[in-house]
Structure 1
Amino acid sequence: MSGQQTLPRGWRGLSGAMAQTPALGWTFVYFFCLLSGYYVLRPVREAMGAAADVNAVFPPAMIQFFAGLGMPLDKYILQILFTCTFLIMLALQPLYGWLVSRHPRRVFLPVVYGFFIATLLLFYGLFDSGVAGRGMAFFLWLTVFNLFAVAVFWSFMADIYTNVQARAYYGYIGAAGTLGAFLGPVLTRTLVESVGIANLMLVSASLLSICVLCIIKLRPYAVAREARQQLSSGEQPMGGEVWAGLKLIVREPLLRWLAVLMLLAVGVGTLLYNEQAAIVRAHYPDPRQATAFYATIDLAVNTLTLVVQLLITRALLSRFGIAPALLIPGIGIILGFSILAASPLPIIVAIVQVMTRSSEFSLGKPARETIYTRVGREWRYKSGAAIDTVVYRGGDLTFVWLHKAFAIFGSSAVFGLGVLVASGMTFAAWRVLGEEKKLAPERSEG
């Protein structure tokens, strides 16, 4: 038996894919470093959102202002943070639209990551000096970074890979990111006690610098695919309006249902996130302990995600298309929230959190992203980014306040709402499948 045959099936497929498509190596490094850089910092953000000390999150002037209105911020930490995040996303949308409309891919991709690297260096100074209000600023910044940086990554992948390749490779690409997401929390748990939070900013900035190198290395593969399939070139500015992304979502049925699907998927995640934050706030008042707790949850999510990506995602997408990968997460969430509505125990909340996030990362996200390989660049760079940023944070904003209202009636009421939201999410996935079938076949490379 040859060495190739002795490998597990998932690894055999991965080995063959890398031999067939050289771009995959740089893609793996890119996504690995991107998610590793994010997950180094995610536990810091989560600890800020769950902080018991409002002075560690908000600037003193803001605390005093809201206190004067009879609205103590310690009761509305996540609501205020999510509201501000949505407003920032909305403000950034035309700026991003201008960037991708007026500049070619070789310019705007490095600019996006260069901006995030520069601001990380700024946060190093803020945390190192203990500036008041740094918690809020960092929470908002990291949320913006995660959505824009990942949205740009997947848009770029749709420039490089065909739809057939996407179904075969996106599970593996996701697995590379998951391995990076493994490394991030490990680095955080290992370093946070000894070097402090400020130095984690430098670790993340170093990883993002590698992403810029990968973009440079991958650009020729995108150029080659566009030439083979006679697609519009990403080496030229795509033009169009700065608000085109949101306008296309309103006009095009497929994009509308993708937006609804995203909105409701975020909704179930936000309901869970808020319940988990309440538990952490009660049991882990020390920010370092809370950071370690969230790092542990991330490791559990990433473990399950990696297993599914290597063993299941590719088979589902290649053999059965995107339907199972889009529908399974919603059905699973309906079941999980039904159990929580009947018995909202903390351990079950944690388990459903792991299941919800891992199914999104390993099934839902790759399935949705394969659709963008069959549409134009304006759809994926503008509308796709708008769905992943403005619509995403609009879901956060909507459901963080809905959670506040339903929490008055107890956890069972919150999770009962979650069952309804998950049902709507599953219906939206079904409508996306119907609209996806109407897309024109992909052009042949022959």
Structure 2
Amino acid sequence: MSSAPDHQVPAGRVARFRAALADSPPLLWSFLYFFCLLSGYYVLRPVREAMAASSDVEAVFPPALIAFFADRGVALGEFTLQFIFTAVFVIMLLLQPVYGWLVSRFARRVFLPVIYGFFIATLLGFYAMFDSGMAGRGLAFILWITVFNLFAVAVFWSFMADVFGNAEARAYYGYIGAAGTIGAFVGPVLTRTLVERVGIPNMMLVSAALLVACVLCILRLRRYAVAREAGRGQASGEKPMGGEVLAGLKLVAREPLLRWLALMVVLGVGIGTLLYNEQNRIARTAFASAEERAAFFSTLDLAVNSLTLVVQLLVTRALMSRFGIAPALLVPGAAVILGFSILAASPLPLMVAIVQVVTRASEFSLAKPARETIYTRVGREWRYKAGAAIDTVIYRGGDLAFVWLHKFLSAFGSNVVFGAGLLIASGMTFSAWRLLKQEAKLPPERAPRPAAGDDAAATA
């Protein structure tokens, strides 16, 4: 694997992609890995959205939980999203030390398959729950898929930083992101095509099969990660990294770069949460059944993924290879500020959907690959521990704060909600600028060691 992409490639985007595959063999396996991962997630995402937006509280919550809150004068159905986001945050707090222990005590070849194996096994359990119509299945599934999305994707990008160097990341992460977007496009198509024919339980099996393919890709990519680490004299991921279980959170608290990165993520979450809640409010009143809501959310996901794919294929690689990560971090902020300015003045339902599509697409196609590129220039604890802490417990902490903020602001009308969103978007853009200042202070990536033959030639 070369240390940098070949810039002397034939004209044309397809030719450049073929040259990239020839120049970097792990790119194809990374492409397939992210495709299967996001296909597996997006097969199930419409089901999650349909359950979260359900007006049938008994389909979401266990009867005992409904009765518990009813005895205290609280109608649980009026606080569905707030309860879910609170529960997810608590779960993340509990899982963070478990994840920290796993990646500290076991080598990469162990903890990566274990994480995905856990998700595959639980999917089989959900098949049985949905097939039997078990009460409270909605809440259990919503909590599970939220944890799955954050941990599985966070682990993926941490692993990519083991496989690729910084120059390769700037050149290839757009392609890899596009693979995920194609998978995210295929997932809703499968759901929209199959869910009304085969039912929700069988969609769990489809997702489980795609995660099995992810494990096979991990096994193939390990050797490339080992070769890169050996070539640059880095600590081997095939040995336990050690360190503290809660090192990730401590690193975020101590390091300025990670603090600004975490703040940027939290404020980005705030923007998404405000839009998500408005989207669910619209769906709850517009659609009567879970199947109709699942079809609506599938259509929205298709729009997001279509725009994301266009940007990834036409813009991301060229932008990051030529100008670095600065435009990829700042342009989404400017787009969100413009969108929320429009919504604050005219919060029409169609405009909410459009801004939601633009916001999510810019995050997936530009901001996310740019942030992940930073991790190629730092140590493994930053990647696997601090990166995971930001993408899980800190991310969901932002979710929790903003879902309750939305509950408060919504009492004053949509204009107030989106006015607050405009301030949040401005703060996110400022955080991105400060993050770039810290990123510029990182040392350059260590060059690969010359092969023995190269040494001999140099001294001949």
TM-score, normalisation: structure 2: 0.95
Compute the displacement of 1:7 (Å): 8.9
User: Residue 47 of structure 1: which of 47, 50, 62 is its match?
Assistant: 50
The whole-number CA distance in structure 1 between the counterparts of 2:267 and 2:99 is 24
Give the structure 2 partner of residue 91 of structure 1: 94
Aligned residues: 442
Residues 124-135 of structure 1 aligned to structure 2 (within 5 Å) = 124-135=127-138
CA deviation vs aligned residue, 1:70-99 (integer Å, no higher than 9, x gap) = 110111000000000010011000000000
Residues 150-189 of structure 1 correspond to what in structure 2 (within 5 A)?
Answer: 150-189=153-192
1:362 positional shift:
0.2
- Correspondence 1:110-121 to 2 at 5 A: 110-121=113-124
Choose which of 83, 101, 106 in structure 2 pairs with 1:103: 106
Q: Which residue of 2 aligns with 1:273?
A: 276
Aligned position for 1:411: 414
Letter in 2 for 1:191: L
Residues 170 and 324 of structure 2 are in contact (CA less than 8 Å); yes or no, is this contact kept in structure 1? yes
Residue 12 of structure 1: how far off its partner (Å): 2.2
**AA in 1 matched with 2:329:** L
Q: Are residue 287 (structure 1) and residue 290 (structure 2) matched?
A: yes
- Please report how far the alpha carbon of residue 193 of structure 1 lies from its aligned counterpart in structure 2 after TM superposition: 0.4
Q: Distance in 1 between matches of 2:232 and 2:414?
A: 53
User: Structure 2 residue aligned with 1:317, among 317, 320, 330?
Assistant: 320
State the partner residue of 1:433. 436
SS in structure 2 at match of 1:70 = coil
Q: Does 1:145 align with 2:144?
A: no
Structure 2 residue 31 is matched with structure 1 residue 28:
yes
Correspondent of 1:362 among 361, 365, 389:
365
| 1:13 Cα offset (Å) | 1.8
The residue identity in structure 1 corresponding to 2:338 is L
| One-letter amino acid matched to 1:386 | A
Q: Secondary structure at the match of 1:275?
A: helix
Partners of 1:8 and 1:308 lie apart in 2 by 19
Report if the CA contact (8 A) 2:9-2:16 is conserved. Answer: no
Query: CA separation in 2, counterparts of 1:142 and 1:310?
Result: 28
CA distance in 1, matches of 2:332, 2:424: 13
CA distance in structure 2 between the aligned counterparts of 1:69 and 1:418, rounded to whole angstroms: 33
| Secondary structure in 1 matching 2:239 | coil
CA distance in 1 between partners of 2:427 and 2:216 (Å)? 41
**Selected match of 2:209 from 206, 210, 215:** 206
Matches within 5 A, 1:324-363: 324-363=327-366
C-alpha distance in 1 between matches for 2:397 and 2:114: 25
> What's the CA shift for 1:10?
2.5
Q: Match of 2:288, as an amino acid? A: P
Report the Cα distance in structure 2 between the residues aligned to 1:27 and 1:228, rounded to whole angstroms: 20
- Residue 333 of structure 2 aligns with an amino acid whose one-letter code is G
- Say which of 253, 257, 264 aligns to 1:254: 257
Question: For the residues of structure 1 that align with 2:430 and 2:419, how far apart are their CA atoms?
Answer: 17
Structure 2 unaligned spans of 5+ = 1-7, 451-460
How many angstroms apart in 1 are the aligned matches of 2:34 and 2:183? 7
Secondary structure of the corresponding residue to residue 442 of structure 1: coil
Query: Hey, what does 1:220 align to over in structure 2?
Result: 223
Deviation, 1:130, is: 0.3
Is contact 2:84–2:143 with CA below 8 Å preserved after alignment?
A: yes
Separation in 2, partners of 1:264, 1:281: 26
CA offsets 1:370-423 (integer angstroms, 9 cap, x no match): 000000000000000000001111111010000000000000000000000000
| Alpha-carbon distance between aligned partners in 2 of 1:61 and 1:413, rounded to the nearest angstrom | 36
- Cα distance, 1:14 vs structure 2: 1.0
Q: Which residue of 1 aligns with 2:234?
A: 231
Q: How many Å apart are 1:69 and its aligned residue?
A: 1.5
Aligned-residue offset at 1:170: 0.1
Instruction: Write the distance in 2 (CA, Å) between the matches of 1:352 and 1:110.
Output: 37
- SS in structure 1 at match of 2:134: coil
Cα distance between partner residues in 2 of 1:362 and 1:109: 25
Give the deviation of 1:6 after TM superposition. 13
1:12 to 15, 21, 28: 15
Instruction: Say if 2:305 is the partner of 1:302.
Output: yes
User: What residue in structure 2 maps to residue 393 of structure 1?
Assistant: 396
In structure 1, runs of 5+ residues without a counterpart are none
Q: 1:7 to 1:76 in 2, by over 3 A?
A: farther
Contact 2:308 2:362 in 1 (8 A): yes
Paired residue secondary structure (1:395): helix
TM-score (norm 1): 0.98
Cα separation, 1, equivalents of 2:429 and 2:72: 41
Task: Kindly indicate whether the alpha-carbon contact (under 8 Å) linking 2:9 and 2:19 is maintained by their aligned counterparts in 1.
Answer: no
Letter in 2 for 1:37: G
C-alpha deviation, 1:8, in angstroms: 7.6
CA–CA separation in structure 2 for the residues paired with 1:246 and 1:227: 28
User: Deviation digits for residues 270-324 of structure 1, max 9, x if unmatched?
Assistant: 0000000000000012000000000000000000000000110001110001000
Distance 1:166 1:68, change over 3 A: same
- Separation in 2, partners of 1:99, 1:121: 23
Q: Residue 93 and residue 320 in structure 1: after superposition, are their counterparts in 2 closer, same or farther (change >3 A)?
A: same
Distance 1:240 1:108 in 2: 15
SS at 1:440 equivalent: coil
What letter matches 1:86 in structure 2? F
Question: Is 1:79 matched with 2:82?
Answer: yes
* Deviation digits for residues 97-142 of structure 1 (CA, Å, limit 9, x no counterpart): 0000000000000000000000000000000000000000000000
Which residue identity does 1:27 align to in structure 2?
S
User: Which residue identity lines up with residue 334 of structure 1 in the other structure?
Assistant: I
1:424 aligns with 2:433: no
Supply the RMSD in Å over aligned alpha carbons: 1.1
